[in-house]
Structures are given as C-alpha cells and as structure tokens.
Amino acid sequence: MDGPPSGTGAGAAPPGDDRVVTWIVSPHLLVAQAVAAALTSAGAAVAVRPWETVARDAWEGRDAGTTRYVVAIFDGEDSLTVVEEISRLVAVGDVRVAVVAPGQTAIWWGGLLEGGAVDVVTGANSISQLMEVVERLTTGDLLMDPAKRLALRAAWVQALDSRRVLIALMRTLSPQQMRVLELLASGRRVVEVAALMDVSVGTVRSHVKALRAKLGARTQLEAVAMLRQVYDAGGTADLVPRPREAPLAPQGRPRVTAPHR
C-alpha cells in the first residue's frame, strides 16, 4: 500500500514493502497523527490519510487488489459529513472499516451496517484497545456481535422514521419562525434574537409560541432539541437549516443570514 502524503504519515511502510498498512483517519488531523504515532510505537504498521481524500486515495489504489483497512476515529462533530465520506470509501470495495465512536453517536452509522465492511466500536478509549482493533481488523475478525449489529441498525431505522416526522413538522414553520428557532438553537437568548431580527421581544415570544404549537413542543428547549434531532440519525440532505452561530459583522455585531430553505 502506498505511504501517506508527505508530512501527514506515521509508521508508513517504505516503497516496495508489502506489509499491510492500516490507514488512520479522523476529521481532526492532529488526533489521527497522535493516534498513529502511538500505535507505531506499539508496533503497528499504520499510516495517516487526510480525511478529505481518503475515499479518493482508495479509488486510486483499487486496482492493486489489496484490502484497505481503515480505523476512523471521530468525536461526533460534523456527523453527516463524516458518515458520507465513509460511505464513499466503502463504495470503493476491498475496504474494511472500524469506526471508533462515542456510544451516544454510534446510531449515526446504522446505515452502513447492512454488509460486513463496517464495524462500529464504542469502547476503544486507550492505545492498547485501539491496537486490538487494528489487529482484529487486519486478521479479518468481525468487531461487532451480530446481535449488536442488528440492534444498532434497527435503532438507526427507527431514528430515521422519527427524523422524517420532524422534517415534516419543521416544514410547517414560516420563514420567520424557522429563523427564530435556528437562532435559539445556536445559543441565542430571546432578547438577542429580537435584536438580531430587529423586532420586539414580544414578537419573538409570539413566534416561539406559534412554532411550539406547530411542533407540539411543550417548551422552548424541547423545540430546539427537535431541530437538533433532525440531524442525529444522519441522512442524505440537509432539509432544514443546521443550527449554527450567527457570523459577526465588521462592527462586531452578529449578522444574521437567512436560513436555507
């Protein structure tokens, strides 16, 4: 297997070496580099691959006929992007992936568990545990109990059903109500939302009352949680605005951009 790009690898095999080299990838390059360095010190043959190019790298080396072993480490950030990139990687073929993820985010990976190319590991928190993941992955062992695989996939399907219901409810909100909800989800208080939208606090509270009624939310916090839940199970498209911080205007005052519709 080819080594990593200059400046990003650790423990890569030299040209012509036929050792198996497991790729370590993470949305956070420093995390991948630190893990790869520790695993190399422990005797593992691993190499870092940039997250953004891992699928392309696999495609370019596909004709070599060698299985690619990938340990993907992520902490839940940018979940949709991460899942989509692993989906593209798996589509290459001749790829086996162990996703090391926190237990609360494991459900995002349910859509990739139908075949045997992907395993989800939730308890690997130390280098020795990650070393075991690499060893079992390269020897062909399945890292997930079949019952756990089925349960996680079933939970993902259920979460998708709930997500579809939430999307339908979100689409009943007016643009102003959606804008209020998005700003609240970004951490703004009602007073701040009023200032950003250049309306009165009473108007914002009226929007909140109306959107809660449409969503069936008992509280403002529940309505915000519903917006966030839309993204918890992953999906193929952003159908409602993703909660985000409002950017700062040159004068330092937050500038509000219209939500994506």
State the average pLDDT over residues 37-59: 88
Question: Which of the listed ranges 30-34, 64-68, 225-229 does the model predict with the highest average pLDDT?
Answer: 30-34
Q: Is 78 helix (H, G, I), strand (E, B) or coil?
A: coil
Binned at pLDDT 50, 70 and 90, residue 190 comes out as: very high
- Is domain 22-144 given the CATH code 2.60.40.1180 in the classification? no
Phi, psi of 195 (to 5 degrees): -65, -40
Q: Which residue has the higher pLDDT, 140 or 229?
A: 140
What's the pLDDT band for 174 if we cut at 50, 70, 90? very high
Give residue 200's pLDDT band: very low, low, confident or very high (50, 70, 90): very high
pLDDT at position 183 = 93
**Are 160 and 108 within 8 A, CB to CB?**
no
Q: Tens of pLDDT along 94-146?
A: 889 999 888 777 777 888 888 888 999 887 888 999 999 999 998 888 888 88
pLDDT 10s digits, 234-250: 443 444 444 444 443 34
CA angle 172, 173, 178 (to 5 degrees): 145
Does the pLDDT value for residue 2 go beyond 70?
no
Per-residue pLDDT band at 60 (split at 50, 70, 90): confident
> Is pLDDT of 81 > 90?
no
Q: According to the model, what pLDDT value does residue 68 have? A: 84
Average per-residue pLDDT for the chain: 78
Least confident of 6-10, 72-76, 207-211: 6-10
Contact 143, 121 (CB under 8 A): yes
CATH class for domain 162-261?
Answer: mainly alpha
DSSP string across 87-131 = HHHHHTSSEEEEEE--GGGGGGGGGG-SSSSEEEES---SHHHHH
Cβ contacts of residue 112 below 8 Å, gap of 6+? 83, 86, 87, 90, 97, 118
Name every residue whose Cβ is closer than 8 Å to that of residue 122 and which is 6 or more positions away in sequence. Answer: 100, 101, 102, 103, 106
Joined together, the tokens standing for residue 52 give 């953004």
- Of the chain, the percentage scoring pLDDT greater than 70 comes to 77
Tell me the pLDDT band of 38, cut-offs 50, 70 and 90.
Answer: very high
Give the C-alpha separation, 75 to 139, whole Å: 26
Give the torsion sign (CA, 152, 158, 162, 164).
positive
Residue 140 DSSP one-character state: T
Measured CA to CA, the distance from residue 38 to residue 182 in angstroms comes to: 41
H helix or E strand, kind and range, residue 24: strand 22-25
Going by pLDDT thresholds of 50, 70 and 90, the confidence category of residue 19 is low
Contacts of 200 (CB under 8 A, 6+ apart): 194
Q: Where in the chain are the domains?
A: 22-144, 162-261
Mean pLDDT value across residues 78-93: 79
Q: 258 and 174 in contact (C-beta within 8 Å)?
A: no
Under 8 Å CB-to-CB from 231, ≥6 apart: which residues? 79, 80, 238, 242
Q: How far is CA 171 from CA 175, 185, 212, 222, 258, in A?
A: 9, 17, 13, 17, 15
**Which pTM does this prediction carry?**
0.62
**What pLDDT is recorded for position 207?**
96
- Confidence category of residue 10, pLDDT binned at 50, 70, 90: very low
DSSP assignments along 32-72, one per residue = HHHHHHHHHHTT--EEE--GGGHHHHHHHTGGG---EEEEE
